[in-house]
Amino acid sequence: MSHPEFRNVAIVAHVDHGKTTLVNAMLEQSGAFGDHGEVADRVMDSGDLEKEKGITILAKNTAIHRKGLGKDGTDLIINVIDTPGHADFGGEVERGLSMVDGVVLLVDAAEGPLPQTRFVLGKALAAKLPVIILVNKTDRPDARIDEVVEESQDLLLELASGLEDPEAAEAAEQLLDLPVLYASGREGKASTENPGNGNAPDSADLQPLFDVIYNVLPEPTATIDAPLQAHVTNLDSSSFLGRLGLVRVHAGTLRKGQQVAWIHYDPEGGEHVKTVKIAELLRTDGVDRVPAEEVIAGDIAAVSGIDEIMIGDTLADVENPVALPRITVDEPAISMTIGVNTSPMAGRGGGDKLTARLVKSRLEQELIGNVSLRVNPTERPDTWEVQGRGEMALSVLVETMRREGFELTVGKPQVVTKTVDGKLNEPYEHTVIDIPSDYQGPVTQLMAGRKGQMLAMDTNPGSNWIRMEYRVPARGLIGFRTTFMTETRGTGIVNSYSDGFDVWAGEIKGRPSGSLVADRSGQVTAYALQQLADRGSFFVEPGAETYEGMVVGANNRDEDMDVNITKEKKLTNMRSATADATVTLSKAHTLSLDEAMEFCGNDECVEVCPDVLRVRKLVLSATERGRARAREKARNK
């Protein structure tokens, strides 16, 4: 029996450069959708949040079957990993790269390499993986294909020269000899010939891409006759089979019903070896998982029957249990506290999961499949510190829990610090900002206030846009995006990636506005909002319930102000023709979760419920807050 040939490849790129659309076209042209009828756009982005945000959050795999295209007429199976393009989900990228033998790097034909392009390419080069550059969206009217290819190759050489491993650096420089592909994922076309700016490739389909993947990327270095070694790289679940472990088979053959050695790592007790049975074995066929009797070395499959299987575990031969290296990821840079809802309105926000036991259980469940997340206990038994790569990664977790029915109290995001040689160090970000030149002054001033150091500034000839690059403490980017979009009237683009740790940059001033805080419980009245209209902007509408310590708006001044938002108009027996004329109020600004987390001050938190979001003070009592401020002033004297 002739075995199929395999190619395991990851599609990596900056966010919104077209990875998932390209994978969609690859699946469609391979007949993966069969008779499914109408196929959803970006089928790989299956999560609700992925569809809403238009980004990939979780690395997912699919298998593209090309009949008779392998050696001697055997079938070719291309296992494709669709990875996130946002640096906040870098753990997913690193996990995805551990499953493949090569990488297709997508670069937008107009935007060129951007910060996350550098991030994902650097990870691929460090893993010594061959990289094929694919210039996508060549049919964009503002495409600049030749310049983008040159920029991508320059980036490749720059990253290669910075690698600590000499062998990896030498291998990276040889990648310049690999072919460059040109594609339009939306049109489902690819070519090795430059189609010219603004044109789709002159080809019928994506066959040139499949040919390059087959001819250029290496076949998995795996031996079918060797003792079994399979690496657990991802987790999933099934309503029928329970927890599923997604494994890359590095050696040997994995069979349904087989007894295998499960090598599990416990941080406290080290490695444990236990004999288990593979209850069910599933292979990926397009977007579906289908039962299989066996999976050979080089392929990727899902196994069931091991309830406590974890990412990084190894399934090995019972007689010769040898573990594969653990999957390692970069350290987290941002943390925040997540706990039960402790506001006076707890239990009234539409949630049904309110207890500390449920919150703790859900966070522990998240640790199983999220390799870049950490959960640490705090002084309070109902609150935990959650650490991740960035604000977006943490906000996605909170939003997911919110949709599952949890009511939570979420603290302001903070940076994760560490001490190096007796000095306090904090994480830094390399930030790239694209703005119209009209906003250069305000943005420069904004970055200066956040301790940003300008590294470069370029102008685009024939365009009114400029690009500025900064090295800025990650602490300075917390709450930055909302202010940035306001300053640039929604036209600016900002991207960043981790730039390591460095010495603490000093105090960074927070948001320019203070909070308007309700000083009592009750219903918001239109009369009170009208009387306070000149104090700032509000987050609540008339009729909304409020409580003491709840933040109801943003103050025009940089100080907090306690306000009576429930004040009613006094009734008298005097009337005039215009006394009860309709009150016109500015529309309240309803905060999204991201906006609420960015607005949140050091002494504030966010009340997250399925039906409502509220910002509140950590200490609700205005009297207690006043005493705390007095004690702080006394200590500073």
Mean pLDDT for 459-468 is: 77
**Where does the pLDDT of residue 472 fall: very low under 50, low under 70, confident under 90, or very high at 90 and above?**
very high
Average pLDDT over residues 407-412: 92
In degrees, rounded to 5, the angle at the alpha carbon of residue 452 between the alpha carbons of residues 451 and 454 is 145
Confidence (pLDDT) at 583: 60
Pairing verdict, β 515-518 and 561-563: parallel
Higher pLDDT, residue 445 or 52: 445
Q: What is the CATH number of domain 515-636?
A: 2.40.50.250
Q: How far is CA 301 from CA 159, 232, 304, 307, 385, in A?
A: 33, 10, 10, 17, 34
CA–CA gap between residue 345 and residue 88 (Å, rounded): 32
Parallel, antiparallel, or unpaired for β 5-13 and 76-82? parallel
According to the annotation, is 138 in a ligand binding site? yes
- From 69-73, 197-201, 470-474, 536-540, the region with the lowest mean pLDDT: 69-73
Closest by alpha carbon to 258, among 277, 281, 240?
A: 277
Q: Enter the DSSP assignment of 41.
A: T
Q: How far is the C-alpha of 190 from the C-alpha of 146, rounded, in Å? A: 16
How far apart are alpha carbons 177 and 548 in whole angstroms? 67
Is position 21 annotated in a ligand binding site?
yes
Query: Mean pLDDT across the stretch 512-518?
Result: 87
Q: Among the CATH numbers 3.40.50.10680, 3.40.50.11810, 3.30.70.240, 3.40.50.300, which is that of 418-503? A: 3.30.70.240
On the question of pLDDT at 88 being above 70, the answer is no
Band (523; pLDDT cuts 50, 70, 90): very high
Q: What is the pLDDT of residues 610-633, one digit of tens each?
A: 999 999 999 888 888 888 888 877
* pLDDT above 90 for 429: no
Please give the mean pLDDT across all residues of the chain: 81
Residue 339 pLDDT greater than 90, yes or no: yes
Pairing of strands 493-503, 515-518: unpaired
Residues 6 or more apart in contact with residue 186 via CB below 8 angstroms:
18, 21, 25, 137, 139
Distance from chain centroid for Cα 145: 28
Nearest one of 496, 480, 613, 384 to 90, comparing CA atoms: 496
Tens of pLDDT, residues 95-119: 677 778 888 888 888 888 877 777 7
Separation between Cα atoms, residue 434 and residue 381, nearest integer Å:
44
Task: Judge whether 19 is annotated as a binding position.
Answer: yes
Condensed to tens digits (0 to 9), the pLDDT of residues 308-322 reads 788 788 898 988 888
Q: Is 364 helix (H, G, I), strand (E, B) or coil?
A: helix
pLDDT band of residue 637 (cuts 50, 70, 90) is low
168, pLDDT greater than 90:
no
User: Pick from 323, 233, 317, 303: which is nearest to 275 by CA?
Assistant: 317
189 annotated ligand binder: no
Average pLDDT of 121-132? 81
CATH 3.40.50.10330 fits 229-316, yes or no: no
CB-hemisphere CA count at 13 Å for 512?
Answer: 11
User: Model confidence at 37, in pLDDT bands (50, 70, 90)?
Assistant: very low
Is 17 annotated as ligand-binding? Answer: yes
Residue 576 is predicted with a pLDDT of 54
Q: Is 36 annotated as a binding residue?
A: no
Cβ neighbours for 387, distance < 8 A, ≥ 6 positions apart: 332, 334, 335, 373, 374, 375, 376, 416
Q: Is 400 annotated as a binding residue?
A: no
Q: Would the annotation count 636 as a binding residue?
A: no
Predicted confidence (pLDDT) per residue in 130-146, tens digit: 888 899 999 988 888 99
- Residue 260 and residue 305: Cα distance in Å, rounded? 11
In this structure, are residues 605 and 407 in contact, taking their beta carbons and an 8 Å threshold? Answer: no
Structural contact between residues 388 and 410, judged by C-beta atoms closer than 8 angstroms: no
Instruction: Flag whether pLDDT at 169 surpasses 80.
Output: no
What is d(CA 73, CA 86) in angstroms, rounded to the nearest whole number? 39
Instruction: Identify which has the larger pLDDT, 48 or 157.
Output: 157
Q: Residue 157: what pLDDT? A: 82
* Highest mean pLDDT (candidates 74-88, 297-311, 582-596): 297-311
Rounded Cα gap, residues 592 and 167, in angstroms: 47
How far from 576 is each of 31, 302, 525, CA to CA, in Å?
76, 77, 21
Tell me the DSSP string of 476-515: GGTTHHHHHHHHTTT--EEEEEEEEEEE--------SS-E
Pick the CATH number of 5-216 from 3.30.1540.10, 3.40.30.10, 3.40.50.300, 3.30.420.40: 3.40.50.300
What is the pLDDT, as a whole number, of residue 623?
Answer: 86
For residue 168, count other CB atoms closer than 10 A to its CB: 16
139 assigned ligand-binding residue = yes
Q: Say if residue 391's pLDDT is above 90.
A: no
Q: What pLDDT, in 10s, does the model give residues 537-583?
A: 899 999 899 999 999 999 988 888 999 999 888 776 655 555 555 56
pLDDT digits (tens, 9 = 90+) for 218-258: 888 777 888 888 888 877 767 677 778 888 888 888 988 88
**Does 225 carry a binding-site annotation?**
no
Higher pLDDT, 168 or 416: 416
Q: What is the pLDDT of residue 49?
A: 47
- Where are the chain's structural domains? 5-216, 229-316, 418-503, 515-636
